[in-house]
Amino acid sequence: MPSTNTVPSPPRHTNRLAREPSPYLQQHAHNPVDWYPWGDEAFARARQEDKPILLSIGYSTCHWCHVMERESFENEAVGRYLRDHFIAIKVDREERPDVDTLYMNFVQMTTGSGGWPLNVFLTPELKPFYGGTYFPPEPKHGRPSFLQLLERITELWKTKRQDLGDSAEEVTHRLQQMAAHDAQNAFPTGERELHGAGQTLLHEFDPDHGGFGGAPKFPRPSQPLFLLRYARRFNEPAAIAAVLQTCDHMAAGGLYDQLGGGFARYSVDARWLVPHFEKMLYDQAQLVQLYLEAYLVSGETRHAEVARGVIRYVLRDLRHPEGGFYSAEDADSEGQEGKFYCWTESELKQVLSAEEFTVIQRYYGITAAGNFEDHSHPQPLKRLNVLSVFHRQLTDAQRVHWESARQKLTTVRNRRIRPHRDEKILTSWNGLMLGAVARAYAVLHDEEFLQAATTNLRFLQSRLWDASTQTLYHRWRNGERDQVQLLDGYAHLLTGVLELYEATVDPRHLEFAVALAEAMMKKFHDSRDGGFWQSGADTLHLLVRTKTDYDGAEPSGNSVAALALLRLSAICGRADWRAAAEGTLRLFAQKLHQYPQAVPHLLLALDFTQQEPKRVVLVGDFTCGSTASLLQAAHAEFEPHKVVLGNRGPVEAFAKTLPENPEFTQAFCCTGTACQPPTRSRDKVREFLKKRD
């Protein structure tokens, strides 16, 4: 009898992207499109053949990127037309955010909106003249099909070439103007900007469901993190209430994976109920920080448990065996969004006992109709339920059934085909997660978190840091690193290493932080006008060099660099680093004043400048048990205007003069050059941090 096993036929097409490490580019390696990666070969070919460039930007866990690939880039007619009339270039926005930022600015400037996939048409000189996001395979809602658009661009390239060239020149000039900032701004006054920003965010607060603004609703953790500081500075309890309500609603909604932990990228509705299911490492890192601060402010263990749940998800599902953190998990599995995460009522009845189903049905609000349907697939799955907490209260007997039901559902879900995982390791996002895990250790005292943080840092230092040239590279995958250097990588990793230093006062971590800061200043700081360039001066083929300032789903490199340098300056006594941070705040002063909701992370830096930070300085024998106890006390209060340091390594000179007892560790609680008597008491350290100036 012949075997029923069949050998899959080889793909009909293989293009240059098959040689690229990026998972996103490899997803397009067998399209009939003659794709090029971003680089010299593509640009030379465009000039030689005098063809327009289609630049298509996305990322591997992007749902609508998958849809457009399936509908258009896998289409033979589209592939043939692109081969004949265009030079087609694919870019992974997560590997080259500098390229993405530039052309996203163009599309937003000319269309009023943006997103991914991002499709932009360029001259051979890389100047854009038309762009948009998703284009359908058939004409729809007054929009042409993608193939019709290509035909129209081709016609204009032949008949209106001068007009296209003039348009490209004009928009390039406008992009250059957008990239310029007024270096003569006055330094922000502080109180005015901070108060106005807090009022603006509270005005946008959704009192029914938490969060800020309407659907679709993104977490944007920098906003609630700022509001906690605003509440402290202006004695505004409504701001604390808004943050805690937001945290509670997000954690109860479908945005949070109720079985496996971790947050999806955003909610398509205002209630945090139905998520866009992809999970990004940068979201996990920032949300851990938010829930840790919510825990410090509220004292409620439920906030700490959410932080633990997110970290457990990352360590379980997004960690390389050597300690690096992978980038993301997809929204889709088996070609359909949410299939891995959702449940029908009938499926739950089959898996669970009657008692378990009754409890789960009430707790998660399960209905026969469901609350989600994947409309992007030709054959959508129907009557799916996203798990979201509706009735939290359980009796002891119900909790037993609830726990057993969750174990069964987890077992069944783990047998499903998982969403695609993007296994590239980015320095920037790893820096964010390193800082989150290190701070979680400092606040929650879980030794597993300390081990994960130190292992992650060791991985990054060995794989992505070149100590001989003081160079930090951006991406590593399958034993290969790229040659790209970006401000985000240096700034985020600097912040992560600072968190680990303050959690341990290990001078080796501070030494590395100093090396990162020095390298970041040398490669990206604009000493003339202030602020930091997104990419280095030697970055090739970048039409306009930009300084990013928008704190969206990820905080900008300028915002992160400013806050990190302020903290490091306070620890090391480096006035030059503080001056660079203040110069960054000055450069973006108009944005801080006029559109504060756009720069919430930069507001954290501005807030830090408004008072002398408290310093908890540990001196003595760091191997003794009292060190851990004092460190725990130093991180047990919500005090955003503090630094924690030892008296060894490249710390500020005053810390090195503090007398130490070789038999035990003591803490000096200092402001400026005034210190309280040394103490071994946790309570005295906490009292010092609680006291308002």
* pLDDT tens string 261-319: 999 999 999 999 999 999 999 999 999 999 999 999 999 999 999 999 999 999 999 99
Q: How many residues does the chain have?
A: 693
Alpha carbons 9 and 438: distance in angstroms, whole number: 48
pLDDT of residue 8: 53
Fold of 16-179: Glutaredoxin (3.40.30)
Strand partners, 654: none
pLDDT of residue 9: 55
Alpha carbons 472 and 490: distance in angstroms, whole number: 7
Question: CB-hemisphere CA count at 13 Å for 74?
Answer: 11
Strand partners, 48: none
Sign of the CA dihedral with 379 first, then 317, 457, and 465 last: negative
Alpha carbons 500 and 431: distance in angstroms, whole number: 11
- Of 306, 305, 317, the residue nearest 341 (C-alpha): 317
pLDDT of residue 2: 39
Query: Residue 615 is encoded by which pair of tokens?
Result: 């310093």
CA dihedral 262, 265, 267, 271 (to 10 degrees): 40
Query: Residue 329 is encoded by which pair of tokens?
Result: 């998990």
DSSP code, position 19 = G
Q: Is 464 in contact with 479 (CB distance < 8 Å)?
A: no
pLDDT of residue 120: 97
Residue 468 DSSP SS3: coil
Q: Is 275 in contact with 265 (CB distance < 8 Å)?
A: yes
pLDDT of residue 4: 42
pLDDT > 90? residue 378:
no
pLDDT of residue 403: 97
With vertex at residue 543, the alpha carbon angle to CA 538 and CA 548, rounded to the nearest 5 degrees, is 80
Residue 10 banded pLDDT, cuts 50, 70, 90: low
pLDDT > 60? residue 102:
yes
Query: Residue 672 is encoded by which pair of tokens?
Result: 């400026």
pLDDT of residue 190: 82
Alpha carbons 457 and 475: distance in angstroms, whole number: 15
pLDDT of residue 6: 45
Q: What is the mean pLDDT of residues 552-558?
A: 96
Q: What is the mean pLDDT of residues 631-635?
A: 97
- Of 366, 390, 500, the residue nearest 434 (C-alpha): 500
DSSP 30-64: TSSS-EEESSHHHHHHHHHHT--EEEEEE-TT-HH
- Of 678, 671, 680, 682, the residue nearest 635 (C-alpha): 682
- Of 640, 693, 542, the residue nearest 126 (C-alpha): 542
Chain centroid to CA 473: how far? 18
Look over the chain and give the mean of its residue pLDDT values, rounded to a whole number.
94
Q: Is 297 in contact with 638 (CB distance < 8 Å)?
A: yes
Q: What is the mean pLDDT of residues 15-43?
A: 96
pLDDT of residue 540: 63
pLDDT in tens, 422-470: 999 999 999 999 999 999 999 999 999 999 999 999 999 999 999 999 9
pLDDT of residue 538: 75
As a three-state string, the secondary structure of 170-232 is HHHHHHHHHHCCCCCCCCCCCHHHHHHHHHHHHHHECCCCCCECCCCECCCCHHHHHHHHHHH
334 to each of 262, 316, 413, 419, how far by Cα in Å? 21, 22, 14, 8
DSSP code, position 87 = E
Residue 381 banded pLDDT, cuts 50, 70, 90: confident
Residue 330 banded pLDDT, cuts 50, 70, 90: very high
Percent of the chain whose predicted confidence (pLDDT) is above 90: 86
Residue 664 banded pLDDT, cuts 50, 70, 90: confident
Q: Is 49 in contact with 119 (CB distance < 8 Å)?
A: no
Alpha carbons 155 and 159: distance in angstroms, whole number: 6
How do 35-37 and 87-92 pair as beta strands?
parallel
pLDDT of residue 692: 81
Residue 142 banded pLDDT, cuts 50, 70, 90: confident
Alpha carbons 533 and 541: distance in angstroms, whole number: 15
Residue 617 DSSP SS3: strand
Q: What is the mean pLDDT of residues 32-48?
A: 96
Strand partners, 90: 37, 56
Strand partners, 88: 35, 54
Alpha carbons 242 and 246: distance in angstroms, whole number: 6
Q: Is 300 in contact with 350 (CB distance < 8 Å)?
A: no
